[in-house]
Structure 1
Amino acid sequence: MISKTVKFCFRDAVSDYLSPDDRMEALKNITDLLSRTFSSQFVFPVLGHADPQEPEKLGQLWRQWLPTDALQTFNTGGYYMIEQKSRRLKVIALNSNLWMEKYEDEIDPGGQWAWLDKHLDTAKRNGETVYLVGHNAPGFDERQGVPPRITLATRHNTRYHNMVRKYAGVVAGQFFGHLHSDSFRIIYDQQGSPVSTIFLTPAITPKRTSSGTNNPALRLYTFDTDNGQVLNYIQYFMNLTSSNSNGEAGWDEEYNFTRYYGIEEVTPYEMNELAQSFVTQEGIKLFGRYWMANSVHSNVNPLNTRTAWTNSHFCAITQLDSADYQDCLVTRASALAAANSQPTEPSSEAKPLIPSHHFAILLITGKSIVRFC
């Protein structure tokens, strides 16, 4: 039987530029807002690099959402697992701060790798579904190709990549943020077949740096409630220019994923086909749509650098390991140079290829807060 539920979630709720006290105060305000808005306990907080690195204090702040077992591992390592037994679903909230560059020389900081492998192995043996949720995703920043910037330490980036390959059969979804950009990553097995997708959600906080910009964004995912497969999502955004001009925050639908790209389903195979189209002459318009979405409609068309930007985005999407990414940057450059048409902003009238699905979970995946139904 098909069911329909609606939930919210978002990414990057706390600015890097706030003081530690102000960050904690901001998280208290967000926690209070979510507690008053949503009566259920299914809010899953996830630590980000800008959050106060005080798990015990944050554990007390979020104790209404974390059962005893989850609170115990969160207080010690900032990570936890919550099981929804009726759906045979495990939500695993990772502390990606433990895998950043300063932990490059540590084999298993905080014991998170052994803990994660244990839960994924149990899920595999029991035929369960797993969602992995974190802040820093593996791979490279697609908006900063020169010099390339990896978001996790190389050791831990490779280990994550290999672990998802190993357990791809049970990992139904991966949801990350950090880069303030709208993108995705594809994980392939040893034979080169796409086996899993990482969804990168843009941030609710805007960013204005040399590596890119973004308008504030929220995202709604739809799932098959029987097997956990991601079916579609709708991206919402706030246009800062018009909102500031009107003196009022205005949230609008930016795009519907399957309609926007004209694909039938959101599987690793289809996501790979979409990525591969970005580097073909026929796929230039699709890359233009992706380019505008990547910054939540903050980008302007890249004039003389489209080839370099396409190369950077394509390689970041399809190559998570450092050596493979570097090789992609080199080998794709000449092929992509031939695609010299400019990206174009998509029409809001794009039509779906198939009827939309009639069951949904609204997911607001956030650096600080993640909510599933």
Structure 2
Amino acid sequence: MYLWSLYCLGLVLVVGARRDEYDRIGYFWQITDIHYDPHFTSHSDYKKGCWRHENGAANSAIRENNKRRTRQENMGKFGEYNCDSTWELIESAAKFMKKRLNDNVEFVLWTGDGLSHFATRHLSENHQLELVQALTDLLGKTFPAQFVFPALGHDDPPFRKHLGRMWSRWLPTDSMKTFETGGYYIIERKQLKLQIVVINTNLMKRNEIDEEANKQWKWLEKVLHKFQKNGETVYLVGHVPPGWDERQKGLFQSAHGAFTDYHNKKYLEVVRNYSDIIVGQFFGHLHSDTFRIMMDNKGKAISWAMIAPSITPKRNHMGPNNPGLRLYKFNKDTGQIFDYTQFYLDLSQTNAKPRLEWLVEYNFTSYYGINDINPDTLYSLAKKFVVKPDGKHDLFQRYHKANTVKVLPHPRDQCDISCVLNHYCAITQVDYAEFEDCLIRTAMIQSTASRKYSNFINFYFGIIFFIISTTVM
């Protein structure tokens, strides 16, 4: 009887522990780079930004041009790879996420760029705000019981007070104050260890004496110091990631919204100082699916950042991607990321079919064959991308396919060894100078390895030829 009681007690404790562990598991969405284009129409010209022309003569010319198109060339209502997002595409993403609310979704990270690439330059202030209001209302209906935490992108209206009032349904009063003055804020989650810090990466493009930018740095270090002192953990959330664009080849400064060298170094310094409490960094902007690893001054991996692909299929300079959505699985208390699921919409198939279908593209841990998401495992994964002399490890091929959300490149745009090294160095070296050093260093190593491999092959076939010749004689 005594043993039976001990057995029952042990069973109760095990079940209780597992129940407690299950209760701590939660999920959150990351959506980014929606780039809503209200002027898209299937009768527009994708060579002119997919915009509907307002005058009758232009519309007549476009209709005449469309008559000459084949059926395959016509643009569908869910968009085109040369165009920003249609409302139908955005609404389909919202409906898909709403169907999955049973996944115990805690919150949503909306990491910037709600409007099209043309909107902030061509539309009035009121029109821009009306479009953001439409997106806000849609997300509010999609997530009626969850909070959405927006980060400002460079293609969002620069009217922070208006946006603050619009997003007051999600932001506490204290958060509203810093958002309206600087575009950044914190979400303090009472009774939980994990806190969320949203930064304004638009300020990272300014010079080093800019008052607003330096005010954000002081604020950021102050709140991180407080969280570190309290033994809490932090997610850093923003639009533009630090470091280099992995799809941009060559040793020249990115012109598309990157951090200045000063702010890039400053960001790395902050991450190094608070890597013990930063348990995740989340960005968008690049429209691609990739990640970054931050090192300390001795070359040890200490932190990581995930960069999610966009909803818009358009990418201005480096080719298109399929629309993507991402759902993270995490510990609600500590913030530890267990895994994520990447969803996508195959735009080429969707416009050809009557039925729209968002699909699972992959789960991160199973796709890459890792058990845990941490700086060491991600660094080990990245190093496997370049272990072969030709630089094309099977894992890199998987990564490169995911990088464009399954939009396969044209044969002439295949990823050669320089492309592979560009991805590897962008992932592992966030500092600009160290990125350039990495490209030069790894190119030399690969060249040496390739020569050794070539010499070995020549030697091997020489021996085979000698044996065959001797045998024949």
TM-score over 0.5 for the alignment?
yes
Tell me the amino acid that sits aligned with residue 316 of structure 2.
T
In 1: Cα distance, 2:294 partner to 2:431 partner: 10
Aligned to 2:46: none
Equivalent in 125, 130, 154 of residue 49 of structure 1 = 154
| Aligned CA-pair RMSD | 2.1
Q: Deviations over 1:8-49 (max 9, x none)?
A: 330012221234445433321121111112223521011001
Pair 1:90 & 2:195 matched: yes
Equivalent in 13, 16, 21 of residue 117 of structure 2 = 16
Aligned to 2:289: 182
Q: Deviations over 1:274-310 (max 9, x none)?
A: 0011110197110000001001111326766510111
Say which SS state the counterpart of residue 26 (structure 2) adopts: coil
Aligned to 2:72: none
Q: 1:236 to 1:221 in 2, by over 3 A?
A: same
Tell me the amino acid that sits aligned with residue 59 of structure 1.
G
Pair 1:309 & 2:413 matched: no
Pair 1:264 & 2:371 matched: yes
Judge which range, 105-114 or 311-320, deviates more.
105-114
8 Å CA contact 2:182–2:212 kept in 1: the answer is: no
Aligned pairs (5 A) from 1:131-170:
131-150=235-254, 151-170=258-277
Judge which range, 251-260 or 241-250, deviates more.
241-250
Equivalent in 228, 231, 234 of residue 124 of structure 1 = 228
With structure 2 as the length reference, what TM-score do the two structures score? 0.68
Q: Report deviation, 1:130.
A: 0.5
Q: Deviations over 1:73-96 (max 9, x none)?
A: 101111101110221221111100
Q: 1:148 to 1:277 in 2, by over 3 A?
A: farther
Tell me the amino acid that sits aligned with residue 265 of structure 1.
D
8 Å CA contact 1:9–1:218 kept in 2: the answer is: yes
Q: Deviations over 1:125-154 (max 9, x none)?
A: 100011000001100000002244442111
Aligned to 2:66: none
8 Å CA contact 1:277–1:283 kept in 2: the answer is: no
8 Å CA contact 1:20–1:52 kept in 2: the answer is: no
Pair 1:27 & 2:132 matched: yes
In 2: Cα distance, 1:336 partner to 1:293 partner: 24
Sequence identity of aligned pairs in percent? 42
Equivalent in 411, 435, 444 of residue 334 of structure 1 = 444
Q: 1:260 to 1:209 in 2, by over 3 A?
A: same
Equivalent in 251, 254, 271 of residue 361 of structure 2 = 254
Q: Deviations over 1:98-146 (max 9, x none)?
A: 111x435537626100000000000111000110000011000000022
Say which SS state the counterpart of residue 103 (structure 1) adopts: coil
Aligned to 2:105: none
In 1: Cα distance, 2:207 partner to 2:380 partner: 35
Q: Report deviation, 1:231.
A: 1.2
In 2: Cα distance, 1:305 partner to 1:184 partner: 18
Aligned to 2:210: 106
When the two structures are aligned, how many residues end up with a matched partner? 340
Pair 1:207 & 2:314 matched: yes
Q: 1:41 to 1:259 in 2, by over 3 A?
A: closer
Q: Report deviation, 1:225.
A: 2.9
Q: 1:183 to 1:67 in 2, by over 3 A?
A: same
Q: Report deviation, 1:192.
A: 1.4
In 1: Cα distance, 2:349 partner to 2:450 partner: 33
Query: Per chain length, whose mean CA-contact separation is higher, i.e. which structure has more relative contact order (CA < 8 Å, sep 6+)?
Result: 1
8 Å CA contact 1:206–1:215 kept in 2: the answer is: yes
8 Å CA contact 1:108–1:114 kept in 2: the answer is: no
Tell me the amino acid that sits aligned with residue 284 of structure 1.
H
Aligned to 2:348: 241
Aligned to 1:75: 180
In 2: Cα distance, 1:20 partner to 1:94 partner: 26
Aligned to 1:197: 304
Q: 1:149 to 1:202 in 2, by over 3 A?
A: farther
Aligned to 1:222: 329
Q: Report deviation, 1:268.
A: 0.6
Say which SS state the counterpart of residue 441 (structure 2) adopts: helix
Q: Deviations over 1:250-286 (max 9, x none)?
A: 2110011111111111111000000011110197110
8 Å CA contact 1:186–1:271 kept in 2: the answer is: yes
Say which SS state the counterpart of residue 314 (structure 1) adopts: helix
Q: Deviations over 1:299-347 (max 9, x none)?
A: 326766510111100110011111111111111113335579xxxxxxx
Tell me the amino acid that sits aligned with residue 331 of structure 1.
R
In 2: Cα distance, 1:321 partner to 1:42 partner: 34
Aligned pairs (5 A) from 1:1-12:
1-2=20-21, 3=23, 4-12=25-33
Tell me the amino acid that sits aligned with residue 187 of structure 2.
I
Q: 1:246 to 1:149 in 2, by over 3 A?
A: farther
Tell me the amino acid that sits aligned with residue 61 of structure 1.
M
Say which SS state the counterpart of residue 213 (structure 1) adopts: coil
Asked which structure has the greater CA Rg, the reply is 2
Aligned to 1:286: 395
Instruction: List alignment gaps of at least 5 residues for structure 2.
Output: 1-19, 36-115, 452-473
